[in-house]
Amino acid sequence: MVNTHPPQPHPDDIVQIIKRDHKPLKVLLAILKNENVPYLEKREAFQQLSPLLEAHNVPEQEIWYHCMKREHAYTVEISEGELEHRLAEQICKDMKTTTSERSFLSKAKVLAEMIEHHIKVEERDLLPDFESATTLDERVELGLIYLERQQQIESLQTTERHRFPLSSLDNMQG
């Protein structure tokens, strides 16, 4: 009897990891874009988004993008992705110190729209193409490296939070 069920996704496949990382980002981005969400809720969503975004972008760029540039013909798409990562990092940095509600909300909307576009291109084009051009073993190997790097980023973030608790930053927010 022929098995007609597609193979189960492997949890350490870099394609699956990236898609998993995108899920909470999408939820928080929707909050940032929603005109009916109050300012303080958007601030809270951003405080959750920023470390998640860093813990996703750094390994994505260092591991997956590096592989894509080296092994596959996606130089334009990867250059765009790297630029979007740099812009997102800069906007996040600006948002952390923005005291004006209007300025924060403008930046939040631009950030959300840019990241949503970035995720859409990855999920629609780059991830499926990468998946069909590589073996599961290759993707799992990359996934394990990605997860290790992500763990390093998250550990650094935890250390930074203990050195500079959010409550000490609240007074700077205005």
* Per-residue confidence (pLDDT) for residue 168, from 0 to 100: 44
Q: What amino acid is encoded at 128 in this protein?
A: P
* Per-residue confidence (pLDDT) for residue 167, from 0 to 100: 47
φ/ψ region of 2 (left if φ > 0, alpha if ψ in -120 to 50, else beta) reads beta
30, 120 contact by CB (below 8 A): no
pTM of model > 0.75: yes
Interhelix angle 14-33/101-121, nearest 10 degrees: 150
Average pLDDT along the chain, 174 residues, taken 10 residues at a time = 61 97 98 97 97 96 90 79 95 96 97 97 94 94 97 89 53 41
Domain-wise residue ranges, the chain: 14-167
* Per-residue confidence (pLDDT) for residue 162, from 0 to 100: 61
3-state secondary structure of 122: helix
Distance CA 170, CA 130 (A): 42
* Per-residue confidence (pLDDT) for residue 69, from 0 to 100: 84
DSSP annotation string for 133-145: HS-HHHHHHHHHH
3-state secondary structure of 43: helix
What DSSP designation does 5 have? S
